[in-house]
Amino acid sequence: MTVNRSWRESFGVYLKPKVLGMFFLGFAAGLPFPLVFTTLSTWLRDVGVERATIGFFAWIGITYSIKIFWAPVVDRAPLLFLTQFFGQRRGWMLLAQAGIMLGLIGMASVDPTQHIVSMALFALLVAFASATQDVAIDAYRIEAIDAEFQGAMAAMYQAGWRIAAGLVGGAAALYIADFVSWTVSYWSMAMAMGVGVVTVFLIREPEHKISRETLLGEQKVVNFLERTTHVPNTLRMPVAWFIGAVVCPFTEFFQRNGKWALMILVFIGIYRISDIALANMAYPFYIDMGYTLSEIASIAKIFGVVMSIIGAMVGGVLVVRYGIMPMLLVGAILVIVTNLMYAQLAITGKSLFGLTVVLSADNFTGGMAGSAFIAYLSRLTNTAYTATQYALFSSLMTLFPKFISGFSGLVVDAYGYVAFFVYVSTLGIPACFLVLYFMRSKSFRQD
């Protein structure tokens, strides 16, 4: 879709209250992520856990990729008192945040050198609760404001997400671990999740809109109930709920997108494969290169987060200004280029300046591409099935990349870091060709 907004109008979108509010929800979503991935892998490597074992911890991230299986429950099932007092979206956010805090406290209580399985189970609890929170927050974000402002919503979400993941769950966690202990670090992170709880109390539940076309589509539920009056309600009603909450979201997506549906899903599954596959070995790479925890915190976390926020904000403005598809293409190309810069750093050796340059480019690019991609996924959803359809997209976005990244430690051990970074860079090439194909196809809906 061609967008014709002035630069003033494009930047002014960030002053909308709902857009500003997404910053704090992004913070709540971002905080747990490094604590079960990059920060956790740094902890494990710091205490001497083997790289192959650290690589397998990436499979905990598959939890984020299979959230589609319980997203229909988050979308439609009430939580008794929580839903009654806070609404569907906010009620599920609160439940998920409680699970995250409990899991982080459990991780803080475990010595990974002695109880690696217990550490993995507590990390799995954090990932499961965090993925559930993501489902609820994504649904809120899409329902809270018009589609034309989803780029800005994505940018503010990323800003909060990256501050939490980089400065708090990343830099602050590493500083506390370096000067105090890993146990105190993870206890502190559990308490920091209180920001998310306060945010849920302050925001308003969004309006849940269902279009006339969707209501007609759900006529199949009514038809089922009419045909099965002879069946006991204890069986009849759960099946009807399953049809409306699980079957309808998928059939609606395929009916709406027709022949493009499968190709869209493939594109979603490969767009972020390059940077996700790299991420699991990034921090072990810093450790093996000889960087201290404080240097990693200062450069990779603090400086990197600033650049990622700038990138996200620039991406949000460019999406409003030029549209989504051109920015998806630019983002895909730049991710490949910046991943190759890691290979160059591995060749030249330890350099604080070199690390700063690489991370500046990587985080800026990631933030910009992220704003475009989140806006794209948001526009694919029908607000009648927001949580379920967006969970499908975001699950596909990480499923294959997370599976691939589970073998990253084995690749590094066998071929070295240079070959690994070149390999993950080439994984991003198919996404570039798919975007170009979409842009050149007149029958493809780009709005």
Q: What's the distance, Cα to Cα, between the start and end of the chain in Å? A: 5
Better-scored residue on pLDDT, 373 or 14: 373
407 pLDDT band, cuts 50/70/90, is: confident
Q: Calculate the dihedral angle through the C-alpha atoms of 374, 375, 376, 377, rounding to the nearest 10 degrees.
A: 50
**pLDDT at residue 166, rounded to an integer:** 79
**pLDDT at residue 2, rounded to an integer:** 45
User: What is the domain partition of the chain in residue ranges?
Assistant: 17-440
Is the pLDDT at 164 greater than 70, yes or no?
yes
For 6, list phi and psi in degrees, rounded to 5. Answer: -70, 165
Better-scored residue on pLDDT, 240 or 152: 152
Record the tokens describing residue 323, joined without a space.
Answer: 């549209």
Nearest to 364 by CA among 308, 403, 326: 308
226 pLDDT band, cuts 50/70/90, is: low
Whole-prediction pTM? 0.69
The stretch 78-103 carries a mean pLDDT of 92
Rg (CA), the chain: 22
**pLDDT at residue 1, rounded to an integer:** 45
16 pLDDT band, cuts 50/70/90, is: confident
**pLDDT at residue 45, rounded to an integer:** 84
Nearest to 68 by CA among 245, 214, 207: 245
CATH architecture of 17-440: Up-down Bundle (1.20)
- Reading phi first (left if > 0) and then psi (alpha if -120 to 50, else beta), residue 80 is in left
The stretch 136-158 carries a mean pLDDT of 79
Q: Distance (Å, rounded) from C-alpha 401 to C-alpha 447? A: 26
Q: Distance (Å, rounded) from C-alpha 44 to C-alpha 338? A: 26
347 pLDDT band, cuts 50/70/90, is: very high
Better-scored residue on pLDDT, 164 or 304: 164
177 DSSP assignment? H
Better-scored residue on pLDDT, 447 or 41: 41
Mean pLDDT computed over every residue of the chain: 83
Is the pLDDT at 244 greater than 70, yes or no?
no
Say which amino acid occupies 352: L
Which positions ≥6 away from 280 have C-beta within 8 Å? 37, 41, 54, 55, 58, 405, 406, 408, 409
Nearest to 155 by CA among 385, 321, 333: 321
Q: Distance (Å, rounded) from C-alpha 276 to C-alpha 373? A: 14
Lowest mean pLDDT among 136-145, 239-248, 287-296: 239-248
**pLDDT at residue 274, rounded to an integer:** 87
How much of the chain, in percent, has pLDDT values that exceed 70?
Answer: 85
Is the pLDDT at 292 greater than 70, yes or no?
yes
User: Would you tell me how many other CB atoms lie within 10 Å of the CB of residue 183?
Assistant: 15
Nearest to 294 by CA among 209, 399, 179, 216: 179
Q: Distance (Å, rounded) from C-alpha 92 to C-alpha 83? A: 8
Per-residue model confidence as pLDDT tens digits over 302-330: 777 788 888 888 888 888 778 888 899 99
Is the pLDDT at 152 greater than 90, yes or no?
no
Q: Distance (Å, rounded) from C-alpha 289 to C-alpha 299? A: 14
259 DSSP assignment? G
Is the pLDDT at 224 greater than 60, yes or no?
no
Q: Which range in 95-104, 141-150, 404-413, 422-431 is most confidently predicted, on average pLDDT?
A: 95-104
Nearest to 111 by CA among 11, 61, 181: 181
Lowest mean pLDDT among 78-82, 272-276, 397-401: 397-401
Say which amino acid occupies 379: R
